[in-house]
Amino acid sequence: MTVTVYGLDCGSTRKTKQWLEKIGVPFVERNILKEPLTVSELQGILRMTLDGTEGIVATRSKAYKDLDLDIDELSLQELMELIQQHPRLLRSPIIVDEKRLQAGYQEDEIRQFLPRKTRKTQWLNWSMNHLPLMES
């Protein structure tokens, strides 16, 4: 499983990379300012998101506000071309593997990128320390 971190040089991207390194999850990083996503890559990301463009566009970003956008007025093709020209419109980081996508750093959700065996081991360790013991 290859995890890819698409991001800007920001705190959330740094936290994501540190977390993945600490846990030992291999990843590939791509700075979207230096190498913007292609339309095809954006389409692939959009196929994975549950919230469509709202899940990946940073509507509170300075770039979004400066462009004075109304996403609903743009066609999907126009939006993808705009994102290529202004990569800061994307939330950062966007973390993907073959099956999952997460936009932004959220510590409780990033665990989905742990290998299943690791998640199971962590759950067992946590439950042994936090769940009450059953009395016979």
pLDDT in tens, 90-101: 999 999 999 899
Mean pLDDT, residues 68-94 taken together:
92
Instruction: Give whole-number Cα distances, 136 to 50, 110, 129, 133, in Å.
Output: 45, 37, 19, 10
Question: pTM of the prediction?
Answer: 0.80
Which CATH number describes the domain made up of 3-130? 3.40.30.10
User: Which has more confidence, 135 or 107?
Assistant: 107
Examine the pLDDT at 45 and tell me if it is beyond 60. yes
Q: What's the pLDDT at 23?
A: 85
- Write the burial class of residue 113 (CB in 10 Å: 0-12 exposed, 13-18 middle, 19+ buried): buried
For the annotated catalytic residues, the residue numbers are 10
The sign of the dihedral angle between the CA atoms of 80, 86, 91, 92 is positive
Q: How far apart are the C-alpha atoms of 9 and 119, rounded to whole Å?
A: 28
